Amino acid sequence: MALLLLAPPLDAETADNVARALWMPEFDASALSPQIAERLASPKNSNAAFGKRMRAYLQQLMKRWQSFVPSYRSRYELFSDTCDELTPHQAYAMSNLLGEDTVEGYALLGETADLQFPRDHRVSLKHQVGWHFFVGTAQAASGKTYGVELMFWQWALLPPPVAAQLGLSDIENQTMEIHLAVTEAGGRHYRAAPLLIAGTTGLIEIEDQPFRWTIGKNSIQAQNAGELFPLRLQAKGWDRGSAPFAEIAIDLTFSSGKGILLQGGNGCAPCCAGIGTLYYSIPRLLIDRAGSSIEINGERIALVSGTFWMDHQWGTGFLPTGAPTVAPLRAASLLAGPSPGGWDWYPLQFDDNYEITVAAMHAAKNKEFYFQTGPVAPGVMTVGVAGKMMDPRAVTHDIKGSLKVTDWVRATHTNDASYPPSQTWYPNRWEFSFDAPAPEHLREVVMTPVVSTGQTGYFANGAEYLEGATTLSAPSGRSIGTSFAEATAYADTTKIQARLAGLSDDEHTLQLLAPVTASPLERLGATLYLLWPPNASELKSVLACCAKNGLSQ
């Protein structure tokens, strides 16, 4: 009955997301402030408005043409036919299924990152996607160890100029997710159900001095203007994987971080013909034991120590993959065909004040290890890794190596009934071999999870991923540090993504959502285009610039 207090009423799913953002177990319209109630009832926040705006954007995309970019017209016609009304969640999921022709209108990346601080701690609302991400391991007075993850994920539904034409401010154009998880070492992995909030609700606030980002009652907040630290994180959520639901919450204050680690090519990861991401990390965030705790089902657990890692990454044309602004590079990309997508990423923090962060992008040669749901786990997967090492003096070095995945775990748990477990096999034990400049005692590292049951979960767009606390040891078994493991795009969740977008998951729809491949005629055109010497020369120059600016990362 509470929904009737709003005119027009919220749909049940949106009301549930609003309630959880405000730390309400159930939606109660009478508990809303007049300002929030007014924003929730605004025509901009109606499902009809989300559908109208999406259809307007689809019409623009269907009129757009760009050389060496596949046509998504059939896909967009299907979307347009099904978006008379869209919930914010459906609009978000649908926008994640758009094609490579979506870069225009978003802020593009330059040839260099030119990151400046504290300026670039802020949230960028002009790019397509961005996130602030915190993971780490903490200890309670009892000696028990806990892994913690918090991510605020930002996604612009429309290019800013399109949003402005349709009457939206930059912040109203956003959808934002919260990812929250707490893992009890040797026990259970708790992961809050995906939470998605639209900017039109009035529940999102962003400030730069001091830095503050709030989504409902959840917040990332610096305490002093011009400085990131002390930095406080507060969040609450509910793991809905079994009855009764498990409530988890964090209240963490970080007193300091080791230093800025620029990822990729001096903060470009990569910057390539307008697309890519800007990316930096801050390792070794130290918990302030006077003001840090977690809660599990109402039990407050004071934390006495802990080491965390922060990532801030943002950009355009990264998710979904966008077409480069340079025609020869688009032609080369068309000839290369769709990549598997996805990555594995690891922030390793060693007890002797070294940090290593490496990633392995998914490649077609390893396709036998992706989308595996059979009764037998995959065999040993060997991949190359590359990234950065920060030494005890906070000096950053490039680093490469190899990784063997020697054990796997199946995704059998869910944190919400809307996101059924995929039964996919995910990496569950990692053996790293690092080259110099890694010191001799860190050349061989074994990483194992802190729980045996897996640490998978979902984005609200339907993409399943693994994100979980791990421990580091020498081959002898001696403990040498802590880490996290991240693995994306191992599961084929196209059916779930279609349903979340309000689409059918029939064969026709799934075919339209499959990666678009070039026709023989399109491939011939791209080949002939690149055979012309000026175009071939431009491609070579662009690729050299991209490589300098983090393409290999």
pLDDT tens for 203-225 read 999 999 999 999 999 999 999 99
- Give domain status of residue 445, yes or no: yes
Separation between Cα atoms, residue 123 and residue 121, nearest integer Å: 7
> Is residue 515 pLDDT above 70, yes or no?
yes
- In the chain, the number of structural domains is 1
17: in domain: no
* CATH number reported for the structural domain that contains residue 149 in this entry: 2.40.370.10
Q: Tell me what pLDDT residue 3 has.
A: 44
Residue 2 clears pLDDT 70, i.e. is over it = no
Asked whether residue 552 carries a pLDDT value surpassing 80, the answer given is no
Band (88; pLDDT cuts 50, 70, 90): very high
Q: Retrieve residue 361's tokens.
A: 């992008």
Residue 12 lies in a domain: no
63's enclosing H/E stretch is helix 47-63
Q: Which domain holds residue 315?
A: 119-499
In tens, the pLDDT along 155-203 reads 999 999 999 999 999 999 999 999 999 999 999 999 999 999 999 999 9
Within a domain: 123? yes
What mean pLDDT do residues 5-9 have? 63
For residue 153, being part of any structural domain is answered with yes
Using alpha carbons only, what angle is made at residue 241 by residues 240 and 246, rounded to the nearest 5 degrees?
50
Residue 446 forms part of a structural domain: yes
HEC letters along 431-494:
EEEECCCCCHHHCEEEEEECCCCCCEEECCCCCEEEEEEEEEECCCCCEEEEEEEEEECCCCCH
Closest CA to 18 of 247, 176, 154: 176
Give the mean pLDDT of the chain. Answer: 95
Query: Cα separation of 457 and 240, whole Å?
Result: 12
Minimum mean pLDDT among 4-8, 45-49, 131-135, 308-312: which range? 4-8
- 308 touches 302 (CB < 8 A): no
pLDDT of residue 553: 42
Strands 275-287 and 268-272: antiparallel
The confidence score (pLDDT) of residue 4 equals 41
Q: 539 lies in a domain?
A: no
Q: Is residue 14 domain-resident?
A: no
- Residue 426 has what pLDDT? 98
